[in-house]
Amino acid sequence: MNFSQKILASLFVFISSVSPVLAQEAQTLDQRVNETFAAFTGPFVSLIFAPLPGTSFPWIVLWLVVAATVFTFYFGFVQFRYFKHSISLVKGDYSDPNDAGEVSHFQALATALSGTVGLGNIAGVAVAVGIGGPGATFWMILAGLLGMASKFTECTLGVKYRNEYKDGTVSGGPMYYISKGFKELGLPGGKILAVMFSIFCILGALGGGNMFQANQAHAQISGIVGDYPGWITGLVFAVVVFIVIVGGVKSIARVTEKVVPFMGIMYVGAALVILLINYDKIGWAFGQIFAGAFTGLGVAGGFVGALIQGFKRAAFSNEAGVGSAAIAHSAVQTKEPITEGFVSLLEPLIDTVVICTMTALVITISGQLLLDPATGNYIIDGSQIATVDGNTGVSLTSAAFGSAIGWFPYVLAVAVVLFAFSTMISWSYYGLKSWTYLFGEGKTAELVFKLIFCVFIVIGAAASLGPVIDFSDAAIFAMAVVNIFALYFLMKVVKRELHSYAARLNSGEIKKFGSH
């Protein structure tokens, strides 16, 4: 054995001897960080997710659903009246490449979808159906359809009040339309609300849009290939994410326009296979959904339980009213702000009405969800869904698909990794635009945030920071408190844009590109 081999052997022995100690120290430090962080942030988290008095219904969900209902009626069910036109816009029928902006309608939609389609579509739906029964699916679909109007409102404003720069780049989102819109209407407090939104968005991006995604991806991968250090997963993700986001929104859009359709088709395709195999049960499944929605038979909490779980899952899944999507849609190439409002309303349809419903149908049909007659709760493997977390949700979805396709856990692992990756790159852009709103546009400011974001990917994959994730989730929904409050004042601006565009579209003044 030569000298270098002896050094390597000695180093290996040393690492082997100290690694258990280091692991124990890391676990102890992790626990201390959790306890300390929870003590400081617990009241804020409790406030955001507090239930309405006498119920288990979080007030923040009601805040989102009421706003979606108001916007639906205020704009005359715009999500249904302009659905066909939305499809034409996504196809590029009305797109002029000379318009200001950085990405196409389809790329903007894909980028925003990549930030919302994630683990919630797999695990969250399973927990919702597990607690609320199949009937929760009905209320989830209804909330998704209503949420289309919220997306329409915020994304129209995002384009209308965006900043357009000489180099062709743009910056938009709630922080811009709140500050500029309030000033235009002579309303006070716009700047303060915009700063609050930006702070919440940065915190949400680093936690829920970053660390949580890396953590779940590592858990899914290690569950298949075997346990290994989380920092390895984090480092790989960080490098790949940095390569994508360093190129800006155009680079992000080029990736998401390929990843989102692929992962969506892969997941929905697997669900369709299950439904085709069990085609004779589809009618029965829809019967369970409608019966459970209004009667709540055998469901924990009855009718109210189904409604709460359905609304909660839709709100947490598509983020309609949170304002995050408006940041992505603001980068679109268009001179008509309302067109991106039309495009964005497709998001909750795809995320909640299609993907989440597919998950719920497969779970209902598979027979993996069993009713415990003693408690009235649905169970899987003897555990009450009402008493467990999203991890059991993943296992329920996996078991449901695996009942017909034995190798589905591998498909699920790929889906989780893709969902996590796409969510991270989208939320990096949301956080970046909030960061530059606070600290100024510039290459240095952008690079600093991108590096910070990638460091947090490694931390998220390696650590178990429960309270940090809880806090970041609360920050994301705190964004909705600020955003929706502002939308109530600014929705009349959107209505003017809608009436103007509709009149010109009906008169033939607005035509498909190339037919001018």
The pLDDT of residue 8: 47
And the tokens for 158?
């995002």
And the tokens for 226?
């075997």
Q: Is residue 2 part of a domain?
A: no
In b/e form, how buried is each residue of 388-401, taking b as 16+ CB within 10 angstroms?
A: beeebbbbbbbbbb
130 near 380, Cβ under 8 Å? yes
Closest by alpha carbon to 61, among 430, 300, 314?
314
And the tokens for 489?
């004042």
Domain that holds residue 117: 50-507
Q: Is residue 19 part of a domain?
A: no
Q: Is residue 6 part of a domain?
A: no
CA distance 370 to 338: 46
The pLDDT of residue 418: 82
Q: What is the CATH number of the domain that holds 452?
A: 1.20.1740.10
Closest by alpha carbon to 477, among 38, 45, 55?
45
Q: Is residue 29 part of a domain?
A: no
CA distance 56 to 289: 21
CA distance 462 to 6: 31
pLDDT, one tens digit for every residue, the chain (516 residues): 555 455 545 545 544 554 455 455 545 655 665 666 667 777 888 888 888 888 777 888 889 989 999 999 999 999 999 999 889 888 877 777 777 777 788 888 887 777 777 666 776 777 777 777 788 888 888 888 999 999 999 999 999 999 888 877 788 999 999 999 999 999 999 999 999 999 999 998 988 888 888 887 887 788 777 778 888 888 998 998 888 888 777 777 777 778 777 877 888 888 888 888 888 888 888 888 888 787 655 444 556 667 777 777 777 777 888 998 899 888 888 888 999 999 999 988 888 888 888 888 888 887 666 555 555 555 554 444 443 344 455 667 777 777 777 777 777 778 778 888 888 888 988 999 999 999 988 788 888 999 999 988 888 888 766 666 677 778 888 999 999 999 999 999 999 999 999 999 888 887 776 554
How many domains would you assign to the chain?
Answer: 1
And the tokens for 124?
């969250």
And the tokens for 306?
């189904």
Residue for token pair 């008095």: 53
Beta strand pairing status for 163-164 and 370-371?
unpaired
Q: Is residue 436 part of a domain?
A: yes
And the tokens for 24?
């124990």
The helix (run of H) or strand (run of E) holding residue 378 is strand 378-380
DSSP state of 406: T
**How many residues are present in the chain?**
516
In b/e form, how buried is each residue of 7-28, taking b as 16+ CB within 10 angstroms?
A: eeeeeeeeeeeeeeeeeeeeee
Q: In a 10 Å sphere around its CB, with 0-12 CB exposed, 13-18 middle and 19+ buried, how is residue 371 labelled?
A: middle
CA distance 422 to 150: 23
Q: In a 10 Å sphere around its CB, with 0-12 CB exposed, 13-18 middle and 19+ buried, how is residue 196 labelled?
A: middle
Q: Is residue 282 part of a domain?
A: yes
Closest by alpha carbon to 327, among 430, 256, 238?
430
Q: Is residue 34 part of a domain?
A: no
CA distance 248 to 449: 12
The pLDDT of residue 516: 47
Q: Is residue 72 part of a domain?
A: yes
